[in-house]
Structure 1
Amino acid sequence: MTIKVLIADDQIMVRQGFSVLLNAEPDIEVIGQAVDGADAVAKVAELAPDVVLMDIRMPELSGIEATRRITGELPGTPGAPGVRVLVLTTFDLDEYVYEALRAGASGFLLKDASADQLAEAVRVVAAGDALLAPGITRRLIAEFARLDNGTRGPLKPRVGELTERETEVLALIAQGLSNAEIAARLVVAEQTVKTHVGRILVKLGLRDRTQAAVFAYETGVVRPSGRSTP
């Protein structure tokens, strides 16, 4: 199945460069380009891509705000179900990682990534997984560590819907572990982990593993130290 991609960036050379790289892949097709955040939102509604490559800093509407509208994270917006956002930026800064993930992005990639890394990131996100590399996880943890003053409120009610094992799996997702790594840690089959992950997303009403990781830190299931809440 061909993965349909929309590229949103205010620099024409960046859009064209990414288009050439991705169209060279047999399973990826760039179906459109957007010049700013507002254009990206409109093009998503018009073209229904599978993945949007979204620059963070753009005129009219920032990539983060556009992501919120596409994912439905902005109150009052319906969002575009099934469309994944992969944020691209030259700014490797904690605030952008944190805000992009909270806005509903399924992944975060620097613009200096190789062609192979870019294509693989598109495939990972399109498959419904989250591009949450260890480096990104570390920055996410660092941001929560900076924000955490020891007065975090009680866990959100939805956490109580999880079983003890599901809560354990959620904590490991938040640490950036893959299904295979979680299976090895818990000494269970990888398919069992996939089942747990699916149930976690359904029970918590989350889109993917990235949202699950953010949720785990925000609700206190995992502390910035990486330890699970007792």
Structure 2
Amino acid sequence: MTPSSTSPDPTDPVPVAVYLVDDHAVFRSGVRAELADEPGLRVVGEAGTVPDAIDGIVATAPDVVLLDVHMPAGGGVAVLRGVLDRIGSAATLSTTAASTTAASTTAGPATPGPTSPVFLALSVSDAAEDVIATIRAGARGYVTKTIAGSELADAVRRVADGDAVFSPRLAGFVLDSFTGKSSAPEPPLDPELDSLTRRELEVLRLLARGYTYREIAEELFISIKTVETHASNVLRKTQQSNRNALTRWAATRHIG
């Protein structure tokens, strides 16, 4: 029987499976649309929270994860570590089960355990501490959200092929860090800071600069009531009692 003309050509390369992680649904939709028309790429899932991202990545086993850096509950670093921990545990269980089976039967070679995807950070931040922390956690590259759609698609293909990819000047941060020449402080884990949403972090920066609630509302094009809500959330998450304490807390982290 003659194969259908719609049957896939077995010689065609397998598309790169991509998973999107970002806490802004509108941004994820935009990235998905940008990648939809790119040859050789296929978006297999997306998530907006750290737990959902870890579960989704482990379940779909993508080739590349496009990873937001600043998200509540630990951000991109927490996703990276969570996935690597889960995959490492699964691989250990798979190896143990295969060894047990092989010892009791004449079964063939053991089935390999799950492999880790490649992580490419896609962030609004180009701060040295964010770049270094994300790369140290295991990401293969780091690009900023000013990147064009075609350039992002190319970056995905390159990291899938084993390259390391960085937006201009960001590679220098990593090289300086690993050669001991970096002037940026070693980025410590900061669960309180990582727990802030992007909007809460924007409000925090403006509060630290001495802006009033009204000025913050005008700067961010939101209502004063919304500013008050964000400020209350920031105080609660950072465990600070008042604005003066919050300003001192922010200054120790060079926020402002």
TM-score (norm 2): 0.52
The equivalent residue for 2:169 is 135
- Within the candidate set 145, 148, 157, 2:181 is matched to 145
The equivalent residue for 2:16 is 3
Gap runs ≥5 in structure 2: 1-13, 92-113, 185-256
The equivalent residue for 1:96 is 130
Work out whether residues 6 and 31 of structure 1, in 8 Å CA contact, stay in contact via their aligned partners in 2: yes
Q: Find the aligned partners of 2:77 and 2:84 in 1 and give their Cα distance.
A: 10
Matched, 1:114 2:148: yes
- Within the candidate set 62, 68, 75, 1:62 is matched to 75
- Within the candidate set 117, 132, 135, 1:83 is matched to 117
Q: Find the aligned partners of 1:114 and 1:133 in 2 and give their Cα distance.
A: 11
The equivalent residue for 1:32 is 45
TM-score (norm 1): 0.58
How many residues of Structure 1 are paired with residues of Structure 2 in the alignment? Answer: 147
Q: Find the aligned partners of 1:44 and 1:96 in 2 and give their Cα distance.
A: 22
Work out whether residues 173 and 182 of structure 2, in 8 Å CA contact, stay in contact via their aligned partners in 1: no
* Paired AA for residue 145 in structure 1: K
- Within the candidate set 29, 34, 41, 1:16 is matched to 29
CA pair 115-3 structure 1, distance change in 2 beyond 3 A: same
The equivalent residue for 1:105 is 139
> Per-residue CA shift, 1:127-184, capped at 9, x if unaligned?
1222146622212234432469xxxxxxxxxxxxxxxxxxxxxxxxxxxxxxxxxxxx
Q: Find the aligned partners of 1:146 and 1:111 in 2 and give their Cα distance.
A: 24
For the pair shown, the structure with the greater C-alpha radius of gyration is 2
* Paired AA for residue 181 in structure 2: A
List aligned pairs for 1:148-227, cutoff 5 A: none
Q: Find the aligned partners of 2:71 and 2:123 in 1 and give their Cα distance.
A: 11
Alignment root-mean-square deviation, CA: 2.5
3-state secondary structure, aligned to 2:181: helix
> Per-residue CA shift, 1:87-111, capped at 9, x if unaligned?
0111100001101110000110101
Gap runs ≥5 in structure 1: 149-230
Q: Find the aligned partners of 1:63 and 1:50 in 2 and give their Cα distance.
A: 17
Sequence identity percentage: 32
